[in-house]
A and B are shown apart, each in its own frame.
Chain A
């Protein structure tokens, strides 16, 4: 992966001014709350349009204020796992998982539904409503849904933050599985240094809307 970011954006009295090149394959954004981690992730996803700057992913330019270019999120081929899951409440778990296939053609032999469902252990949940899932189940379904969108970049915003210790331990191995098996580059936001240590190839520290340092490391 090569994700080049150099953006500036102001929201109220918060200013995001971030420049970095992320090489992944799994880059972890860490920092105290309010440091701009989630905002940066939304900039990468295209859910937030920065005032000025440039975002490129590989050969694709996603945002370039000089050329007035902004690729909308639905055209960016990303997968996004939100902190609160955001499964669509009016659809079954199965329809949530297949939702992206209504809009996105698969780019070749991507992961199949059965395979992902097995990997994440959610086969027994397919016909349930998202309203009746535990936190851990919900996040596994959200991860499956993001993977089935055949993303070329996977964004995860504190996917374990809403879970208690036990549930975290339940979901974390699945995330490692996904990382090792599909080799999709991942940008992972967390405030837990434990998760950062365990998952990251690259640790990006943010503070007050700025990227303080990017640290490459050998996974332990």
Chain B
């Protein structure tokens, strides 16, 4: 990329890596929680729903701060993770991935939940009469029929993770090469005299990536039918 400085390229590649890891690692849990919210009645369901959606409405700096006191090196989860698996999150790209995952989680869960609710449960009944136990009904009927919505959720989550700024910079700071994403690189550039060109280039790239992801997500979302168009 001839028009990008090495720092800019690093920030872009790092952003992609962080967003990809955040999306893929959180997807199974997003599917599980979306399924619980779409299909099950249980005590505490309203609370779970609120918890999932909190990062969407809280100031991102609050989410970042909570991650810092929970998953920082002295935080209860951070200490446990380091002791058991040698994983350190604070001021590392893995921490940026965690922040991005938490921030994009509500969007992903919402899209998947809607597509699970659209699945025709009569088809699940039919599968049960053919001998499929509930877990296989889910894997062979529910999930395939909800797949466009799952993909739409993953893509919109990926886009959100790419753009995450507030929680990330609070939790893992803004270290070039380790935690400096496109968003925090733009922030740094705006604070640096004479870096207007960098700001503009990165901004354009951020817009293109976001618009592309939105379009892709819409494309998948339009294909959510839940099998209702069967003949």
Which residues in A have some Cβ–Cβ distance to B below 8 Å? 45-47, 72-74, 76-80, 82, 84, 86-90, 99-100, 102-104, 130-133, 138, 145-146, 149, 155
A88 and B231 alpha carbons, distance in the complex (Å): 10
A79–B127 touching, CB < 8 Å: no
Chain B window 219-231, contacts with chain A (Cβ cutoff 8 Å), 1 for yes, 0 for no: 0000000010111
Partner of B126, one of A80, A103, A132: A80
Shortest A161–chain B CB gap in Å is: 15
Question: In the bound complex, do residue B123 and residue A103 qualify as a contact, i.e. CB atoms below 8 Å apart?
Answer: no
Q: Which of B44-52, B72-80, B130-138 contacts A (4 or more CB under 8 A)?
A: B130-138
Q: Could you tell me which residues of chain B, from 138 to 153, have a CB within 8 Å of some CB in chain A?
A: 140-141, 144-145
Contacts of B122 in A (CB 8 A): 82, 84, 86
Contact with A along B94-108 (1 / 0, CB 8 A): 000000000000000
Main SS of chain B's interface residues? helix
B129 within 8 A of A: yes
From A47, A76, A99, A131, contact of B230 by CB (8 A): A131
Distance from B182 Cβ to chain A, minimum over Cβ atoms (Å) = 37
Cross-chain pair count, CB within 8 angstroms: 80
B contact residues, range: 20 to 34
Set of chain A residues within 8 Å of B133, measured between Cβ atoms = 72, 74, 103
What residue in chain B is nearest A82 (Cβ atoms)? B126
Q: Write the B109-135 contact mask toward A (1 if CB under 8 angstroms, else 0).
A: 000000000000011011111111110
Chain A residues closer than 8 Å to B125, beta-carbon distance: 47, 73, 86
Q: Which residues of A contact B227 (CB under 8 A)?
A: 88-90
Chain A residues contacting B127 (CB-CB under 8 Å) are 88, 99
Q: Are A78 and B144 in contact (CB under 8 A)?
A: no
